[in-house]
Structure 1
Amino acid sequence: MLRALRGTHAERQAPLHIWALDATDDLAGGLVGHTWTTWLHVTYLWVGERHRGTGLGSHLLAEAERIARAERGCTAARLETWDFQAPGFYQRRGYEVVCTIPDYPPGITEFTLTKRLRTN
């Protein structure tokens, strides 16, 4: 089950937090972000170890994009991730790398990715 904390339409910047609970109401994963003007910014996306590989991460991201687009009028999304995390996960979901910062922190590369959100 997904539960979302939503800001109002009138807000220029509003939090967008989505929590996924398993059948026993334990936290299975979540997404923390916000919308600002016409952009969704995903700050954190995580899935508990027991729930990885189930499609939950894709579902959380798709729901955030849906809310951002349909309820808040967003036309694009952005996020940051490191090379040891999941840049490929986001690229498979239509995100494109627009910035690469090597050695941030030392020995690690940070990526900024964006995606245009469909309006239909």
Structure 2
Amino acid sequence: MVGRMFRIETGVDKERLRLLRGRLRDANRDASAALRALQGTPEEREEPLGVWALDDRGELVGGLSGYTWGRWLHVSLLWVAEDCRGAGLGGRLLAEAERFCVAERGCLNSRLETWDFQAPAFYRQQGYEVVAVIPDYPEGHKEFTLTKRLG
């Protein structure tokens, strides 16, 4: 490595991104028995998830989007229309996602991120625990990472 020259570039490059992901995945597998054990199993692949709440006209009034990987549910988005809040719909969406992921995908845990102006108290009420707090993300706010043991 001594004397080797490097060129640094900035830009979006799909082929380099594919190579980067593959090389990092391989390095991670080499370093982790748990990741090696996932190799070739259904849990190795990210599987998308959607849970939707529709009103009697078929309009979207709430939804949850996420994915499963490594026997974890990752909740990316959870939203309930303002006029439907306070009726337990968010909890029902989250509970259905958790139920489905345990029963159909073998998930053992769930994780999500939320900001202080969103819903950390709601998630705590649903059994989630704060495992990390990032201050000033975005500036002037906090981001919380929460997890829950399922089943």
Asked if these proteins are the same fold (TM beyond 0.5), I'd say yes
Structure having the higher Rg: 2
Cα drift, residue 13 of structure 1: 1.4
TM-score by length of 1: 0.88
Aligned to 1:68: 101
Give 1:82's match in structure 2, choosing from 108, 112, 115: 115
Cα drift, residue 10 of structure 1: 3.9
Aligned to 1:14: 47
After TM superposition, the runs of 4+ consecutive aligned structure 1 residues lying more than 6 A away are none
Cα drift, residue 54 of structure 1: 1.1
AA of the residue aligned to 2:147? T
Aligned to 1:46: 79
Cα drift, residue 30 of structure 1: 0.2
Q: How does 1:71-110 map to 2 (within 5 A)?
A: 71-110=104-143
Higher relative contact order (CA 8 A, sep 6+): 1
Paired positions, count: 110
5+ long unaligned stretches in structure 2: 1-40
**What secondary structure does 1:105 align onto?**
coil
Between Structure 1 and Structure 2, the one with more strand by share is 1
Aligned to 1:4: none
AA of the residue aligned to 2:112? L
TM-score by length of 2: 0.71
Structure 1 CA distance, aligned partners of 2:55 and 2:83?
Answer: 10
Aligned to 2:69: 36
Aligned to 1:24: 57
1:59 equivalent in alignment to 2:92: yes
Structure 2 CA distance, aligned partners of 1:41 and 1:107?
Answer: 25
5+ long unaligned stretches in structure 1: 1-8
Identical-residue share of aligned pairs (%):
65
